[in-house]
Structure 1
Amino acid sequence: MSRLLPALADTPDRPAVRFGDRALTYGELAAAATPLASRISGASRVALWATPTLETAVGVVAALLAGVAAVPVNPRSGDRELGHIVADSAPDAVLAAPGEHLPPALAALDRVSIDVPTAPAGPGRPVALPEEPADPEAPAFVVYTSGTTGPPKGAVLPRRAVSSTLDALRDAWRWTDRDTLVHGLPLFHVHGLILGIVGPLRQGGAVRHLGRFDTQGVARELASGATMLFGVPTMYHRLAEALPTDPALAKALSSARLLVSGSAALPLHDHERIAAATGQRVVERYGMTETLMNTSVRADGRSRPGSVGVPLPGVELRLTEDDGTTEVAAGDPEAVGEIQVRGPNLFLEYLNRPDATAAAFAPGGWFRTGDMAVRDPDGSVRIIGRRATDLIKSGGYKIGAGEIENALLEHPGVREAAVTGAPDPDLGERVVAWIVPVDAQNPPGEGELAEHVAARLAPHKRPRTVHHLDALPRNDMGKILKRSLPDG
């Protein structure tokens, strides 16, 4: 039987996970996770209080060994959202560190403490690991979506989706057991937990989690042997901002084998600043909760700002017209369509939501992502935004908010930017820009920004209305919450 994490048995003395000054080898991780797996064996689902700690890593490994679906819970969830997740997923227990304070919705569940050794065990006999499920369709995770259009939905991810995605990334990123990943992402979603913790463990390498992201931590870890960095655009923006005055950071980033950004588009300006200071190009990839990873720029390929690369091995991808079934013209880099994917990386269903599950798929097993994109002649994908919030239909054109945002960010007076559409009696929709100016007392004017965008893109893509804000609303991953912006 193929194990999800073979290094637990094969390389017990190799470093596996580290959070701050606490670390476990593969043997120590197996020794901590195996008795926990026995305690939860037979459960259907368990909630995992997903703090950025060693306990969370042990908890997720134990759930995978036991064949029990883990429901990672954001420690910053509000009472209403948390109550919905617990009621919907009905976990048999909650896994948490000893002494961890839990909110009432979780405190009412049976609690299973995640016990982690306080001192290294040293070399020893390999641990007898439990038998894992042989069925690749067995659920491994139930990860809840962001809930922007209603209560969060629980995407049921099978073991086959986890293994196929991580194996595809092994190929695309040349990811091996010699790699050590550093990241500071939260651990309640697929990027931070499945890619960032389970990913290195499946490859047999190591992961060092910062606990909380900071540029000094990134510099320290990359300078001391880490080879890869995972982050989101907000993190790379902070790195780009720090580079001019931090030569140690520039040297550390220069030494990395691979810098990967995801969860949202990385602005061109930050791409260019990082490349100029370090000689490194940031690799972008594209995925979502329901599909794990779909595309990526390959480690041996050409990194181009704005591109999320080509479909990963095993993933089929197409762009469709508004009817959801007709494919857009092939080879036309201006032809906008909705991304649909199918392959072994897909989720099984939305828990308790057969209606939503059925609506999410087009005939032929194609998952409707809701993301709009164009495809270059070489097959690489450029995402222009979400159908619901980022596709603007103005004057007969389909306009992607993302490319306008990137153009606005090239203006020296713009610190942050978001673009939406607003009803317009003449155009159907007009382009609206929301900016955080560099100088709040002297912000760039509407005409100036319109000319700036029109000169770089096309006149019909210029913003017709500009609003100035002190800050853009964002979620825990740094994504801009456009639905929280006032009406344009």
Structure 2
Amino acid sequence: MTLLPALHGSGVDRADALRVAGRTLSSEHLQGCANAVADRIRGARAVAVEATPSIEALVGMVGALQAGVPLVPVPPLAPVEERRRILRESGASLCLGATVDGTTLPVIPVDLRQRSWNTHPEAEPTADAVILYTGGAGGTSRGVRISRRAIATGLDLLADAWRWSAEDVLVQRAPLFRAYGLVAGLLGALRVGGRFVHLDRSPATGPVGTIHLAVPHQWARIARDVPGARALSGARILVSGDAPLAPAVNERIRLLTSHTLIQGYGTTETLIAVTGRAGVRGTPGTAGTPLPGVQTRLLGVDGRPVPSDGESVGELSIRGPTLFSGYLGQPDQTPPDEGWHDTGDLATVAPDGCHRIIGRRRADVVHCRDRPVPARQVEEVLLTHPGVHDAAVVGMPHRALGEMIVAYVVAAEGLTAQMLIDHVGRMLSAAHRPRRVHFVAELPRSAQGRVRKSLLIAPG
């Protein structure tokens, strides 16, 4: 099994195969540079790359995969102690491209002038390809071991679902230390032999591509940028992943682009397991259906399966060929013998198999009058307001309601709580309107960029 066949001479040499921050590499240049990196690191236990959006970082990542050495992408804004923990737990023995702050590991420079045409034997399919860390929204993040076989299988299934070919240009905005940015973005484009473009944070920056991939909070910002959003009408498909997308954001993108966003669902442990299909109009508000070979189940609080009626809520478990191999330092925390991984997310399944992801049981769902309200839907709508820079929604105890919706917002001066409450009320139902809005200077985030809602919910 070859993980990246386009880098083994089986694809067309493209002058702009890789584009990051306005710089490009051809397919041949990328292959030669990645091989030069692989020559120098082959046999290492694992290598770390600071996951900044740069040509050198991406060449280092590809070089690690060419060498068959587990790749450890390090979040560039992680605190020093978190970086040290990631490197210690992962067993990384080298840093590629640049040193990781706070560490003393040897550094192997990535020099784009160095090229090699040596061939490296493909690692075993079960070998670790990457070690990705979970979001850490609820506490300490965990290192997830993902095999070469899981990545290759998942990407082939995605290519079929999205009709993804070597003629496509994938443009993406997701962080390169997350599964969507690294696996579905960079490695997906390289596996099918297409072109890859990584954009900066500005919605109006860069080309459109034929496949445009972003995460929900980025789509919310794109929806506010009318000229930038309308430019995306030239894409073949628009894809949202990593978290549930608010229907109001999806509808605004549809009005501006004439595209209905394809949504995908997965976790670090499962990769993308559920998705919509290119050319198939999905049910609004759903993440689509499982990929071939992937099975899902919903269990109620009593541990029994809930019916697939589109209304009954259960906790989602997944099994299939894209599952992770295990957690670092936790050999007993692999999927059990029967292969089911409990995601911790609540969902519903319709009779046609379409999954609607509500969110994590505690952090992302507010139980108001015994009705589960997805916090992320409210967050995405708040982010469509031009004065809102960041937002997080949690549930707080309420004597009559059970829980009430409380929003924490980073906003421009002059914005009032009532203005935001009314804004949500215009786009969602009355049940989604926040009872309280707190304005804050910034939201607490994990090293992986996820909002730590546990710190907002905690008293004091």
TM-score, structure 1 normalization: 0.84
Give secondary structure in 1 for the equivalent of 2:108. Answer: strand
Report the counterpart of residue 10 of structure 1 in structure 2: 10
Q: Which one of the candidate residues 109, 127, 133 is aligned to 1:113?
A: 109
Q: Which one of the candidate residues 306, 310, 322 is aligned to 1:333?
A: 310
**Aligned equivalents of 1:299, 1:306: Cα separation in 2:** 16
Q: Which one of the candidate residues 152, 158, 176 is aligned to 1:169?
A: 158
**Aligned equivalents of 1:343, 1:95: Cα separation in 2:** 33
367-376 or 49-58: bigger deviation: 49-58
Q: Does 1:482 align with 2:453?
A: yes
Report the counterpart of residue 306 of structure 1 in structure 2: 285
Kindly report which structure 2 residues correspond to 1:211-222, keeping only aligned pairs within 5 A, or say none. 212-218=200-206, 221-222=207-208
**Is the CA contact (8 Å cut-off) linking 2:364 and 2:394 kept in structure 1?**
yes
Max Rg structure: 1
Give secondary structure in 2 for the equivalent of 1:339. Answer: strand
Q: Kindly tell me: are residues 468 and 63 of structure 1, through their superposed partners in 2, closer, same or farther at Cα, counting changes over 3 Å?
A: same
Shift of 1:57: 1.7
Report the counterpart of residue 253 of structure 2 in structure 1: 274
Q: Kindly tell me: are residues 418 and 280 of structure 1, through their superposed partners in 2, closer, same or farther at Cα, counting changes over 3 Å?
A: same
Report the counterpart of residue 405 of structure 2 in structure 1: 432
Report the counterpart of residue 383 of structure 1 in structure 2: 357
**Aligned equivalents of 1:89, 1:412: Cα separation in 2:** 41
Alpha-carbon displacement from aligned partner over 1:228-282 (angstroms, at most 9, x marks no partner): 1111122222221111xx3xx3553111001111122222232222211221222
Alpha-carbon displacement from aligned partner over 1:309-345 (angstroms, at most 9, x marks no partner): 1111221111111244x21123x21100011000110
Report the counterpart of residue 186 of structure 2 in structure 1: 197
**Is the CA contact (8 Å cut-off) linking 2:222 and 2:229 kept in structure 1?**
no
**Aligned equivalents of 2:288, 2:76: Cα separation in 1:** 33
Alpha-carbon displacement from aligned partner over 1:343-367 (angstroms, at most 9, x marks no partner): 1101001011134x15xx4662100
Shift of 1:159: 0.5
14-23 or 198-207: bigger deviation: 14-23
Alpha-carbon displacement from aligned partner over 1:4-27 (angstroms, at most 9, x marks no partner): 111121135224212234222222
Report the counterpart of residue 129 of structure 1 in structure 2: 119
Kindly report which structure 2 residues correspond to 1:1-400, keeping only aligned pairs within 5 A, or say none. 2-8=1-7, 9-11=9-11, 13-15=13-15, 16-96=17-97, 100=98, 102-105=100-103, 108-117=104-113, 127-133=117-123, 135-210=124-199, 212-218=200-206, 221-222=207-208, 226-243=209-226, 246=227, 249-324=228-303, 326-330=304-308, 332-355=309-332, 357=333, 361=335, 364-393=338-367, 397-400=370-373
Q: Kindly tell me: are residues 435 and 411 of structure 1, through their superposed partners in 2, closer, same or farther at Cα, counting changes over 3 Å?
A: farther
RMSD: 3.1
Give secondary structure in 2 for the equivalent of 1:68. Answer: coil
Report the counterpart of residue 421 of structure 1 in structure 2: 395
Shift of 1:391: 3.4
**Aligned equivalents of 2:53, 2:176: Cα separation in 1:** 6
Shift of 1:152: 2.0
Shift of 1:217: 1.7
63-72 or 297-306: bigger deviation: 297-306
**Is the CA contact (8 Å cut-off) linking 1:290 and 1:346 kept in structure 2?**
yes
Alpha-carbon displacement from aligned partner over 1:105-157 (angstroms, at most 9, x marks no partner): 2xx11211112139xx9xxxx93421111x21111011111223443211000
**Is the CA contact (8 Å cut-off) linking 1:17 and 1:207 kept in structure 2?**
yes
**Aligned equivalents of 2:421, 2:173: Cα separation in 1:** 40
**Is the CA contact (8 Å cut-off) linking 1:342 and 1:367 kept in structure 2?**
yes
Q: Kindly tell me: are residues 158 and 413 of structure 1, through their superposed partners in 2, closer, same or farther at Cα, counting changes over 3 Å?
A: closer
Q: Partner letter of residue 199 of structure 1?
A: G
Give secondary structure in 2 for the equivalent of 1:29. Answer: helix
**Aligned equivalents of 2:272, 2:331: Cα separation in 1:** 23
Q: Partner letter of residue 5 of structure 2?
A: P
Q: Partner letter of residue 456 of structure 1?
A: S
146-155 or 37-46: bigger deviation: 146-155
**Is the CA contact (8 Å cut-off) linking 1:320 and 1:337 kept in structure 2?**
yes
Shift of 1:433: 2.5
Shift of 1:440: 4.5
Q: Partner letter of residue 131 of structure 1?
A: P
Q: Which runs of 5+ in 2 are unaligned?
A: none
The answer to which structure, 1 or 2, has the higher relative contact order (CA under 8 A, 6+ apart) is 2
249-258 or 72-81: bigger deviation: 249-258
Shift of 1:206: 0.5
**Is the CA contact (8 Å cut-off) linking 1:269 and 1:409 kept in structure 2?**
no
Shift of 1:183: 2.0
Shift of 1:426: 5.9
Q: Partner letter of residue 102 of structure 2?
A: P
Q: Partner letter of residue 401 of structure 1?
A: P
**Aligned equivalents of 1:216, 1:404: Cα separation in 2:** 24
**Aligned equivalents of 1:412, 1:183: Cα separation in 2:** 23
**Is the CA contact (8 Å cut-off) linking 1:84 and 1:151 kept in structure 2?**
no
**Is the CA contact (8 Å cut-off) linking 1:472 and 1:480 kept in structure 2?**
no
410-419 or 261-270: bigger deviation: 410-419
**Is the CA contact (8 Å cut-off) linking 1:283 and 1:296 kept in structure 2?**
yes
Q: Kindly tell me: are residues 477 and 231 of structure 1, through their superposed partners in 2, closer, same or farther at Cα, counting changes over 3 Å?
A: farther
TM-score, structure 2 normalization: 0.89
Q: Kindly tell me: are residues 260 and 448 of structure 1, through their superposed partners in 2, closer, same or farther at Cα, counting changes over 3 Å?
A: closer
**Aligned equivalents of 1:149, 1:322: Cα separation in 2:** 20
Shift of 1:431: 2.1
**Aligned equivalents of 1:276, 1:386: Cα separation in 2:** 29
Q: Kindly tell me: are residues 117 and 304 of structure 1, through their superposed partners in 2, closer, same or farther at Cα, counting changes over 3 Å?
A: farther
Alignment coverage as a number of residue pairs: 454
**Is the CA contact (8 Å cut-off) linking 2:366 and 2:405 kept in structure 1?**
no
Q: Kindly tell me: are residues 477 and 81 of structure 1, through their superposed partners in 2, closer, same or farther at Cα, counting changes over 3 Å?
A: closer
